[in-house]
Chain A
Amino acid sequence: MNKLEDFDDIPGTTIFTTDMSRKGFHLNQFCMSLMKPENRLRFKADERAYLDEWPMTEAQKQAVLDRDYNAAIKEGGNIYFLAKIFATDGKSFQEAAASMTGMTTEQYVAMMLAGGRSPKGQRSIRKGN
């Protein structure tokens, strides 16, 4: 069976649960609004003003302004919703993923070409495997 507490045990990973979905509801709905070209234009014209139209927390707004996707995920953001932000920026999923790992895009692309990140030592914080 799935035990919820296990979800905090995977290194460098946030599982998007129903609780996170509650926490990040407005943040994720804001992201979704960027699927409309007119909203993308308004957001790009004045990011702060556009964000202020949404009942998001200040931490959520700041994470968006900073394009700090790890912070956005901590505040309830889901990566598929956050993808609308970097799509609006014209950035690829690889560039966004790299930004979350502390690597440059070049280093990250090279890691992927070399076979990606090994799961060794990355499975469980408790077990250290």
Chain B
Amino acid sequence: MARITAGVTTSHVPAIGAALDQGKADTDYWRPVFAGYEWSKKWIAEERPDVIVLVYNDHASAFSLELLPTFAIGCAESFAVADEGFGPRPVPEVQGHPDLACHLAKSLILDEFDMTVINKMDVDHGLTVPLSLLYGQPDAWPVKVIPIAVNVVEYPQPTGNRCFELGKALRRAVKSFDQDLNVQVWGTGGMSHQLQGPRAGLINPAFDRDFLDRLVADPDSLKKMPHIEYMRESGSEGVELIMWLIMRGAMGKKVKELYRFYHVPASNTAVGHLVVKPAK
């Protein structure tokens, strides 16, 4: 049977991808950011997951305002790298896992989570930057990826509670897949950042650290946090953190924290990163 072995959360700042792609990773500005992922790179090389269910948000790359799904799952064989306005990132195409993805779509919808099913989609920095952070710059990604895209761009986003419950349903769905697969669930985006308006540049380390603590030990206390509180405390784009609740919901009641990293700044953003595994 397929099993969820670990959860990862990380910010997906586009400038991190650009720094890596342009050979700037070893500069004073970027070195501390990439150093924060060294442990995780070694860890994932040992864990060798078969599939990552990667929760992220599209940044006006695949979804225009013509059609914006709240929750969508990628069932394609592969996903091309999006051109976000400056040419596609020079990273490998992302390989999907259609069999598991179709099973998840079916299972989630029958479990009353009305997923939009995607059979063709370009993926942007929201999905590729986390892969770069954990896997570096390989010729091909050594893992299959099932994208779950969440609308965090346009209010109303799904509630934190709905995200957490989707994670729980995801756990049930993975466990009912009849192939021996090592599956990880990643939640990306955040932490505190605001990219727009006169308040741009907002960073709130106290909020971020408290969020990390509660995500590990007391996720129930985060489920009812309204969007407006994320926006006030962690910036208008900090609301991406609701996606981390999907990862946490998929881990079961208790988790063991394996690794944590927090750093300010990467471009406009506070970088947060957690590695957890389900605990009894």
Interface residues of chain A, those whose CB is within 8 Å of chain B, are 1-3, 6-7, 10-18, 21, 24-25, 28-29, 31-32, 34-37, 40, 69-70, 73, 78-81, 83-88, 90, 92-94, 96-98, 100-102, 108, 111-113, 115-119, 122-124
* Chain B interface, DSSP helix/strand/loop, else mixed: loop
A-B contact pairs, 26 of them (CB 8 A): A1-B226, A7-B231, A10-B199, A10-B231, A11-B198, A13-B199, A15-B236, A17-B155, A17-B156, A37-B87, A80-B60, A84-B60, A87-B84, A93-B268, A94-B15, A97-B200, A97-B268, A101-B198, A112-B201, A115-B205, A117-B199, A119-B207, A119-B232, A122-B202, A123-B233, A124-B232
Interface residues of chain B, those whose CB is within 8 Å of chain A, are 14-15, 18, 59-61, 64-66, 82-87, 153-156, 192, 194-205, 207, 226-228, 231-233, 236-237, 264-265, 267-268, 270
Task: Select which of B195, B204, B231, B267 is within 8 A of A79 by beta carbon.
Answer: B195
- Asked, given contacts A15-B231, A78-B154, A80-B153, whether A28 binds B60 with beta carbons under 8 Å apart, the answer is yes
User: Which of A32, A69, A80 counts the most chain B CB atoms within 10 A?
Assistant: A80
Tell me, in angstroms, the Cα distance from A79 to B82 when the chains sit together.
18
A116 contacts B196, CB within 8 Å?
A: no
Tell me, in angstroms, the Cα distance from A84 to B122 when the chains sit together.
16
Tell me, in angstroms, the Cα distance from A58 to B212 when the chains sit together.
45
B59 contacts A83, CB within 8 Å?
A: yes
- Asked, given contacts A94-B15, A115-B203, A115-B205, whether A123 binds B232 with beta carbons under 8 Å apart, the answer is yes
Rounded to whole Å, the gap between the CB of A28 and the closest CB of chain B is 5
B198 contacts A102, CB within 8 Å?
A: yes
Rounded to whole Å, the gap between the CB of A90 and the closest CB of chain B is 7
- Asked, given contacts A13-B199, A100-B197, A116-B265, whether A18 binds B155 with beta carbons under 8 Å apart, the answer is yes
Task: Select which of B154, B197, B207, B231 is within 8 A of A73 by beta carbon.
Answer: B197
A83 contacts B233, CB within 8 Å?
A: no
- Asked, given contacts A87-B86, A93-B15, whether A13 binds B64 with beta carbons under 8 Å apart, the answer is no
- Measured CB to CB, the nearest residue on chain A to B228 is A6
Question: A93 — which chain B residues lie within 8 A by C-beta?
Answer: 14-15, 195, 267-268
Rounded to whole Å, the gap between the CB of A29 and the closest CB of chain B is 6
* Chain A interface, DSSP helix/strand/loop, else mixed: helix
Question: B232 — which chain A residues lie within 8 A by C-beta?
Answer: 10, 119, 123-124
A29 contacts B268, CB within 8 Å?
A: no
B84 contacts A35, CB within 8 Å?
A: yes
B201 contacts A116, CB within 8 Å?
A: yes
Tell me, in angstroms, the Cα distance from A16 to B153 when the chains sit together.
7
Rounded to whole Å, the gap between the CB of A74 and the closest CB of chain B is 9
Tell me, in angstroms, the Cα distance from A101 to B201 when the chains sit together.
9
B64 contacts A28, CB within 8 Å?
A: yes
Tell me, in angstroms, the Cα distance from A52 to B232 when the chains sit together.
37
Tell me, in angstroms, the Cα distance from A13 to B69 when the chains sit together.
24
User: Which of A2, A25, A111 counts the most chain B CB atoms within 10 A?
Assistant: A2
Tell me, in angstroms, the Cα distance from A87 to B116 when the chains sit together.
29
Rounded to whole Å, the gap between the CB of A105 and the closest CB of chain B is 12
Task: Select which of A28, A70, A73, A112 is within 8 A of B267 by beta carbon.
Answer: A112
Tell me, in angstroms, the Cα distance from A87 to B89 when the chains sit together.
13
Rounded to whole Å, the gap between the CB of B263 and the closest CB of chain A is 11
Tell me, in angstroms, the Cα distance from A69 to B200 when the chains sit together.
12
